[in-house]
Structure 1
């Protein structure tokens, strides 16, 4: 006589499926039996403090904003304001044979990658340098690197 093909694990999985199906059916019946909510009950509003509430806002507290006053994007700089692009730092590591290294910025102690093609003159480890930043494939790269005294 052959053994039954249903194992304990199969029986347990089938029980779980059946229980889940019954729970789903029960929830469906409850939703059908529940009274329908009106659209007004489903709305939520945002008050002047940014909190969600179920009461509509007070029309007396309404602030009118002109469309021309809304700026999208980066605001324009005033005419006289100049952006400082030159940074100063020290060569933290530089490998002459491979042609790359890292510069540690003086103010923020951030490290930036530098390639031999981004240098104006020959640099070595420990040199004080001035440089500019350029977006590279893996982050910001130092370019236009020159020796400096600061």
Structure 2
């Protein structure tokens, strides 16, 4: 039942989810602030749940998973570590800000995914059982939380 376009689209988002989880795990291992570490853990759990839903959608539409894209996402996340490291930015605070902004942009992309799939779901029964409104609401909540963290990080990193 899968179309090439749907397969590519879903696999791109799966790769993004994988990279986001890896980024959060790295951020957690580097984070001394218990409050932020707790918020990152909650976000990671939600993104893992979202990835599981996306995997269920991949199965439902009978799409193949592209392992190469997932491997490429892992490599890109590792390259991102170089750009987002304290050695590259010169500042732990700036690194945190850039990491949070990366996650913020990723969640925007995920919300766009859920909105696109919600539009597709009304045209046929294949995706009708997924609650895209709930997924969109969760993405909105994640964006709100990340924006607050991002603003806090900006005030710490960009003091002039």
Whether the TM-score (by the shorter chain) exceeds 0.5 is no
Task: Choose between structure 1 and 2: higher helix proportion.
Answer: 2
Which TM class, normalised by the smaller chain length? under 0.3
Bigger RCO of structures 1 and 2 (CA < 8 A, at least 6 apart): 2
TM-score, normalising length: structure 2: 0.17
TM-score, normalising length: structure 1: 0.18
Task: Choose between structure 1 and 2: higher strand proportion.
Answer: 1
